[in-house]
Amino acid sequence: MSTTPSLAKHASVNQLRTAIKLEPRPTPEPESESEFDAEPDPKPEPGPRPEPQPSVSKTTDDEHTY
């Protein structure tokens, strides 16, 4: 962070968050083409999720519904 340490002593949390957002992002290092450095193939995305089961149950007797 290029801001001075004194800013951290006197700035509000929101001011510090804004200062961090305004900092330029570091450039990512170029990826090497070596097979030893390569990441494994990403896993395929899973299929659609099953429908969730209802979590509220209803019980009745002769007089009441719970």
* pLDDT value for 59: 80
User: Rounded to the nearest 10 degrees, how much is the dihedral formed by the CA atoms of 39, 45, 46, 50?
Assistant: 140
> Under 8 Å CB-to-CB from 11, ≥6 apart: which residues?
19
* pLDDT value for 33: 59
SS3 45: coil
Over 60: is that where the pLDDT of 38 sits? no
* pLDDT value for 5: 64
Residue ranges per structural domain of the chain: 1-25
The encoded tokens of residue 52 equal 């969730």
pLDDT tens digits for 7-31? 677 888 898 899 889 998 888 887 6
